[in-house]
């Protein structure tokens, strides 16, 4: 089966500083791929390139075998099926989880008129189903500002899932979460991966150990190695540049 995403020799040069120096990486369908590596390795920059926030200076990013993302604007990349949850919150705190998802759904339709239209029964059912999935059904009518940190993050993820993506990009999704919230987030990601590949930048090695299907280690703008977490942990080079110090 062809990978859902292929990065080929991707380079990013920030006015002379080479943040990415020829990254080759593939994401397979249904995979939970963790991108790890020391600070400044280029992980976030790679996510930025994939979602169109940063332009690569060389190389190619191919989606679903034949769609080149390299020159597409961010919104077009979303429409192709790649969404990204940023660390900075984007939910409306004065609205309920249901209303937040309603807005996300209407944005997806992209029709201005529909913003004033009533939701159909099936649209409401879809939002309820999603609320169940992200564990917020019980608090669907409470103001988002009263949610815990973890619940807010899940709502953010829900806002992305309403786009029905094929690839979800997450940047340190469990930062600031309690132990229980971390586990719930991992389980949510496993549930999401049944329909959508997930590429995650993460520093928490316990979380990576528990929920990864594959791990890619980046160092100094390149892929150092990739494989199952068990093998990665044994790798001497990885121990030297990263795990030996922080994991």
Interface residues with ligand ATP (CB under 6 A) are: 14, 17, 19, 37, 39-45
Nearer to ligand ATP, 87 or 107 (CB): 87
Per DSSP, helices labelled H in 95-176 are 97-109, 121-133, 149-161
Nearer to ligand ATP, 29 or 54 (CB): 54
Nearer to ligand ATP, 53 or 108 (CB): 53
Task: Quote the least distance from Cβ 217 to ligand ATP, whole Å.
Answer: 11
The whole-angstrom separation of Cα 247 and Cα 238 is 10
b/e per residue, 201-232, with b = 16+ CB within 10 A? Answer: bbbbbebbeebbbbbbbbbebbbbebeebeeb
Task: Quote the least distance from Cβ 19 to ligand ATP, whole Å.
Answer: 4
DSSP string, 140-156: TTS-GGGS-HHHHHHHH
DSSP string, 73-100: -HHHHHHHTEEEE-SS--S-TTS-HHHH
Task: Quote the least distance from Cβ 41 to ligand ATP, whole Å.
Answer: 4
Nearer to ligand ATP, 29 or 44 (CB): 44
Task: Quote the least distance from Cβ 20 to ligand ATP, whole Å.
Answer: 8
């Amino acid at each position: 089966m062809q990978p859902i995403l292929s990065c080929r020799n991707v380079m990013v040069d920030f006015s002379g500083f080479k943040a990415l120096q020829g990254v080759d990486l593939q994401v397979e369908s249904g995979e939970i791929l963790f991108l790890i590596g020391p600070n400044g390795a280029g992980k976030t920059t790679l996510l930025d390139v994939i979602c169109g926030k940063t332009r690569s200076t060389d190389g190619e990013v191919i989606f679903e075998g034949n769609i080149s993302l390299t020159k597409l604007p961010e919104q077009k990349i979303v429409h192709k099926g790649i969404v990204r949850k940023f660390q900075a919150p984007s939910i409306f705190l004065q609205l309920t989880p249901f209303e937040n998802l309603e807005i996300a759904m209407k944005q997806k339709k992209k029709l201005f008129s529909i913003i004033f239209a009533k939701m159909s029964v099936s649209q409401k059912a879809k939002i309820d189903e999603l609320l169940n999935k992200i564990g917020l059904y019980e608090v669907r009518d409470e103001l988002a500002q009263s949610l815990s940190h973890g619940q807010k993050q899940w709502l953010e993820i829900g806002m992305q899932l309403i786009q029905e993506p094929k690839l979800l990009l997450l940047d340190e999704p469990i930062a600031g979460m309690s132990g229980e919230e971390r586990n719930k987030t991992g389980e949510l990601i496993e549930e999401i991966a049944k329909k959508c590949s997930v590429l995650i930048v993460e520093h928490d090695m316990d979380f990576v150990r528990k929920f990864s299907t594959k791990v890619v280690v980046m160092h100094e703008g390149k892929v150092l190695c990739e494989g199952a977490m068990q093998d990665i942990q044994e790798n001497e080079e990885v121990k030297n540049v990263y795990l030996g110090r922080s994991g």
